[in-house]
Amino acid sequence: MIELSQISQLAEIDSQSALEPVIIFKHSTRCSISSAALSRFKKAYANSNSIKVYYLDLIKHRDISNEIARHYKVEHQSPQSLLIQNGQCKHNASHFEIDLEEILEAVV
């Protein structure tokens, strides 16, 4: 996972997503549900590792989370996963609905 720590990285994500899909995983380090969802995601990702993932710590970078919501036209959730393709959010899920298999099925 690549740490998402600067708003300018969203342009990088948009560029990369033109070549291959990218996932953004937003996580609240203060929330037990978010920790459980992240743990499930990491376990599935370890067995797959097929797609680039950017990890956002919401507590440290709420400004980036707000920009993600605006830029990709999604409602802020925590935890939340977003599948980015061609600079657009093609799939998003939150809480225990985050499922890597489902995300990968949404790749077009």
Structural domains in the chain plus CATH codes: 2-105 (3.40.30.10)
Q: Tell me the HSE value of 5 on the side-chain side, using a 13 A CA sphere.
A: 4
Distance CA 2, CA 75 (A): 22
| Cα–Cα distance for residue pair 82/22, rounded to 1 Å | 8
Q: What is the pLDDT along the chain (108 residues), one digit of tens a residue?
A: 999 999 999 999 999 999 999 999 999 999 999 999 999 999 988 877 679 999 999 999 999 999 999 999 999 999 999 999 999 999 999 999 999 989 989 987
- Tokens representing residue 58 in the block: 């919401």
- Alpha-carbon distance of 77 to 33, in angstroms, equals 12
Question: Could you tell me the CA-to-CA distances from 81 to 19, 49, 94 in Å, in that order?
Answer: 19, 15, 6
CA separation, residue 91 to residues 32, 103, 104 (Å): 23, 7, 10
Q: Could you tell me which of 88, 83, 87 has the C-alpha nearest to residue 105?
A: 83
What pLDDT score was predicted for residue 49? 66
